[in-house]
Amino acid sequence: MLRYIFQKIGFTILVLLGAATCAFFLVNGIPGDTATALAGPQATLEDVENLRRSLNLDAPLIKRYFSYMANLLQGDLGLSYRNNKPVLEVVMAAWPATFELAMFSMLIAILLGVPLGIYAAINRGTAGDAASMIVAFLGVSMPSFWLGLLLIISFSVKLPWLPFYGRDGFSSLLLPGLTLGLGVGANIARLTRTSMLEILGQEYIRTALGKGVKRSRVIWVHALSNAAIPIVTIIGLQFGVLLGGQVVTEMIFSWPGIGRMIISALATRDLQIIQGGILVLAFTFAIINLITDLIYALLDPRIRY
């Protein structure tokens, strides 16, 4: 088991280094001159050149890359171009809001998706199965920005029950959480149904039912435990979808998370903040994937070998 864990940790480190490399070159490939944008419209050419030298933007890209990676390995993400604050401090101030919204959205998705998928599987071919999959299809098809605006109109404008602006207590978490969680829950429901149908068709399930084991026990203990690995897989992958999909949702609901911070940094060409935000999101997703891999080994000991 320890060997399995160390292998997964080593792979996670390689993934993070790859994510850091991709983030650096993609961000630095954004069209436009960063020094000119930061200096402002009133700056002279001399001001722009002085700023470029002070920010080390005049150095070759590959040299800046190795310097960035060397600092990154020491836990230094650099300083913000705009306010000269440590990037790690700025990003970590926004991270709790992003992680809170992602976890709440995933909780909604699991509570809706898993029972709906199981219900559809055990009632295969019935009207309930068809209705469940229609609901799941609608959830997958609805864009998050459209669903978010629909929820705002319904529960904040026409029925002023819930706030739709900022992060202020549990009530402000409900609308953005539903916006993200419903779509992800629909994906989980579809995969849960498929996985459960495959397991319910196995011989040992029919044997257990034939021996008089309660149907509820067969479904929730025997079938669900063996169908869990695909479900855990989709949950881990959809967590990454939540982290990436929050950019639009955070803007709609003025949620003070990393996605909104990255959009603001793009407007001001604060490349260090953009890189730092992407790296922290990648790190969070990599840790979730690592936890998912460890859960695999707990659910099925054969995987660790």
Q: Does residue 240 share a domain with residue 285? A: yes
Is 172 a domain residue?
A: yes
Of 78, 106, 131, the one marking the end of a domain is 78
As a whole number of angstroms, the distance between CA 122 and CA 66 comes to 56
Asked whether 246 and 98 are in contact (CB, 8 A), the reply is yes
As a whole number of angstroms, the distance between CA 99 and CA 171 comes to 17
Nearest to 100 by CA among 206, 255, 225: 255
pLDDT of residue 107: 92
Asked whether 8 and 297 are in contact (CB, 8 A), the reply is no
pLDDT of residue 300: 64
Q: State the 10-residue block means of pLDDT for the chain, 305 residues long.
A: 72 83 83 74 77 79 87 83 84 89 90 89 84 82 81 84 80 87 87 85 77 78 78 81 77 85 83 86 83 73 57
Q: Tokens standing for 287?
A: 């840790």
pLDDT of residue 245: 66
Helix (H, G, I), strand (E, B) or coil at 99: helix
Stated pTM of the model:
0.81
pLDDT of residue 302: 60
Q: Does residue 26 share a domain with residue 172? A: no
Q: Does residue 14 share a domain with residue 113? A: no
pLDDT of residue 45: 79
pLDDT of residue 233: 81
Residues 6+ apart with CB under 8 A from 157: none
Q: Does residue 99 share a domain with residue 68? A: no
Is 66 a domain residue?
A: yes
pLDDT of residue 1: 65
Of 78, 111, 127, the one marking the end of a domain is 78
Asked whether 78 and 68 are in contact (CB, 8 A), the reply is yes
Of 19, 45, 78, the one marking the end of a domain is 78
Is 98 a domain residue?
A: yes
Residue numbers of the domain that contains 44: 2-78
